[in-house]
Amino acid sequence: MKVEFLDLGRQTTALRPELNLAVHRVLAAGRFVGGDEVDAFEQEFAAFCGAGFAVGVNSGTDALELALRGLGVGVGDEVVTAANTCVPTVAAIVAAGATPVLVDPDPETMTLDPDRLEEALGQRTRAIVPVHLYGRCADMETIMRIAREHGVLVVEDVAQAHGAERSGRRAGTFGDAAAFSFYPTKNLGALGDAGAVVTNSRAVAERVRRLHAYGDAGDGAVERGRNSRLDPLQAAVLRAKLPYLDSWNERRRELAERYDAELSGLPLTLPRPSENGEHARHLYVVRSQQRELFRDQLARRGVGTLVHYERPIHHHPAYRSLARPGALDTSERLCAEVVSLPLYPELRDDELAWVVDAVHASLAHPRVASAPLRKSVGARGSGQP
């Protein structure tokens, strides 16, 4: 058997009738920028999050940049974020005109470590961008308390955690604003690029709305804005998919729980159980001391894996200047150990069983150059360490 890391085609195929309807509706309406589809999606998505307002934009990266700018963060300001995030988080901070300051995550949750946060806050800190990495909500109670004590704003990066919860609240409703991505592989994915800023503040929503349309809300360009709109076509597609998001996340959790149960006791660090709320399980990320060998062994058994992410931000050529010697060791270590196993709502039970088998076999015979594939997927249980 071959288990791809992700097969997006399955969702598109399953939803084909609804997606066709959505696209036809937009073609029939003949409105290709703004309009009812976008307004309706913004309202439906804000309601899904339990937030007051959503503004559709062109991508998650733009959502972060515009959320920061909408809060007045810009040139001369420092914005603290996690060093183990992906590049767009930091690219957006830079695009807003601000200077990123990197902080290590908690190695257990892999989200921003509140203990490290305080050390990174200084005179110029204007905002914190916690990233709900892999679908786990960061420790928002503590982060918000620290932010309020220091008079600092918070923009959540929720690109990987649509529908995640903590203490009964959904990710994206803790901070002053939040940024979502609907990149096709996210928990809610468009058929192309799309994103949204979510906030409870009418003033912030209005400013983001102005900034995403050249800075002009009808009375001239009162500030220097961008063009970053959510297309009605993507809005219609997202509206077709949104009603499934909770059940997709539920299926992700079910698969993740099976991995948790069936991979325990192996020389792998499994994701820590999420306390205090629902994990959106965007990615199932384990840690291995011998990651490359492990990935290679899994590949030989037909299992696709990816690494999120190969390097911490400060090891990318464009961001070397953000290095903080000695302060980002955890990120560096995590980037060398993390590996993501296949996990998406359409992954079948027999495929998960195959992956579980392959993981056991890979760790039992790590040095066999070309291990034979196991014949029966269901018959795991022999010869495990």
Interacting residue ranges for ligand PLP, rule: CB under 6 A: 59-61, 85-86, 88-89, 131, 157, 159-160, 181, 183, 193, 195
Tokens of 227: 């063009």
| Closest residue to ligand PLP in the complex (CB) | 60
C-beta of 78 vs 193, nearer to ligand PLP: 193
Please state the closest distance from residue 85 (CB atom) to ligand PLP, in A: 5
DSSP string, 350-368: HHHHHHHHHHHHHHHSTT-
Please state the closest distance from residue 182 (CB atom) to ligand PLP, in A: 7
C-beta of 81 vs 362, nearer to ligand PLP: 81
Please state the closest distance from residue 10 (CB atom) to ligand PLP, in A: 20
Please state the closest distance from residue 309 (CB atom) to ligand PLP, in A: 9
Q: How far is CA 202 from the centre of its chain?
A: 25
Closest to 64 measured CA to CA, from 225, 189, 178: 178
C-beta of 181 vs 340, nearer to ligand PLP: 181
C-beta of 184 vs 304, nearer to ligand PLP: 184
C-beta of 152 vs 313, nearer to ligand PLP: 313
Residue type at position 57: V
Please state the closest distance from residue 308 (CB atom) to ligand PLP, in A: 8
The sign of the CA dihedral 312, 152, 140, 206 is negative
Three-class secondary structure of residue 189 per DSSP: coil
Closest to 102 measured CA to CA, from 123, 80, 121, 87: 80
Considering all CA atoms of the chain, what is the largest pairwise distance in Å, rounded to the nearest integer?
72
Tokens 């060093």 belong to which residue?
Answer: 83
Calpha distance 263→257 (Å, rounded)? 10
Return the half-sphere exposure (C-beta side, CA atoms, 13 A cut-off) of residue 132. 37
Please state the closest distance from residue 83 (CB atom) to ligand PLP, in A: 13
Q: How far is CA 344 from the centre of its chain?
A: 13
Asked if residues 374 and 361 have their Cβ atoms less than 8 Å apart, the reply is yes
C-beta of 95 vs 323, nearer to ligand PLP: 95
Please state the closest distance from residue 265 (CB atom) to ligand PLP, in A: 31
C-beta of 183 vs 294, nearer to ligand PLP: 183
DSSP string, 273-305: PPPSS----S-EEEE-TTHHHHHHHHHHTTB--
C-beta of 282 vs 301, nearer to ligand PLP: 282
Calpha distance 18→246 (Å, rounded)? 17
